[in-house]
Chain A
């Protein structure tokens, strides 16, 4: 079998998400946390390292990164028009008087 060139993200996707689950008193799942929690922890833990490795797909995922939603709007005409309108509404950005 050829050596796999699958990325860490691909490996995590499979290793953390699938496989035989042992139920009952015999199997002790030490990692007794939800997959997503694990994922988020991992990404908080090593986002910097991962990014250097080019494993940053979650940065565009609204689930992990609410800003991704804004970025989708970011370049559109709509966003520009909203900004223009906001600029014309008096007192929008003023501090409390």
Chain B
């Protein structure tokens, strides 16, 4: 590994002339594919390890990464590379594209003309403060009340679960692909959908319909997007040492 010319790689895309990325990032091409890169000092990534309370270096780098990927995605299909991919000079970038050419090209063809949308469903539990009135209740009566209340909460949960399942079935019909992502605490559903632009209107109409039903059942629906296809480029480009 030489020390000069480290390149931060953001995304694989088509090698097209006139792809205007602004001044900093540039395209390193091989045949009809290219990797969007910019010069980087690896020390910028080192700062992530610090626990300095005012240091938002990671947030800053992640935003930058996303901004570059989106800038390319406005004009061309992209395969976002994993955050923190740093390559040792242009020769390495070209060699990577040479080795991974077929795989990358197929993957680009698959995601072309599609955008990613995120859908999150949260179950809103009844306020824990709505206690049963315990005045003058015997212990047994109290326990019966409490059991009824827990049952009602459980029924609500199952109801939301049913609607969420139907929502997923309906949205999947409008999507080329879909994938469950990790669920933060309290999130019932966190799914990414890869949707062709021509199907987006139908996708969102369906979503709107189910969102109403879910709100009535005591849940909230959040959507994010449109995203570059982050969740649908989960591939590993193998590079052998003698490549």
Contacts and interface: CB of A to CB of B under 8 A. Distances in A.
A45 B52 contact: yes
B105 interface: no
- Chain B contact residues, majority secondary structure: mixed
B49 A15 contact: no
Nearest to B56: A46
B38 to A, nearest CB: 14
Nearest to A74: B128
Given A10-B224, A38-B48, A29 B146 contact: no
Interface in A2-44: 2, 4, 6, 8, 10-33, 38, 41-42, 44
Among A10, A20, A61, A75, the most chain B Cβ lie within 10 Å of the Cβ of: A20
Interface residues of A, number: 49
Nearest to A22: B237
Interface stretch (B86-94, B163-171, B203-211): B86-94
Interface stretch (B18-26, B154-162, B212-220, B225-233): B225-233
B: interface residue count bin: 35 or more
A14 B231 contact: yes
Interface string A49-93: 110000001101111000010000011110000000000000000
Contacts of B233: 18-20
Given A19-B82, A22-B81, A29-B84, 20 more contacts: A8-B59, A18-B231, A20-B234, A22-B87, A22-B236, A22-B237, A23-B239, A24-B240, A25-B241, A27-B85, A28-B1, A28-B86, A30-B42, A31-B84, A41-B51, A45-B53, A61-B186, A68-B185, A76-B128, A77-B132
Interface of B: 1, 9, 12, 42, 45-46, 48-59, 62-63, 65-66, 70, 73-74, 79-88, 92, 95-96, 99, 104, 107, 115, 118, 128-129, 131-132, 134, 146, 181-182, 184-186, 224-227, 230-231, 233-241, 243
24 contacts: A6-B225, A12-B59, A15-B66, A16-B62, A18-B82, A18-B230, A19-B83, A20-B234, A20-B236, A21-B82, A22-B85, A22-B96, A22-B237, A22-B239, A24-B241, A25-B243, A26-B87, A26-B92, A26-B95, A33-B49, A45-B55, A46-B56, A63-B185, A77-B146
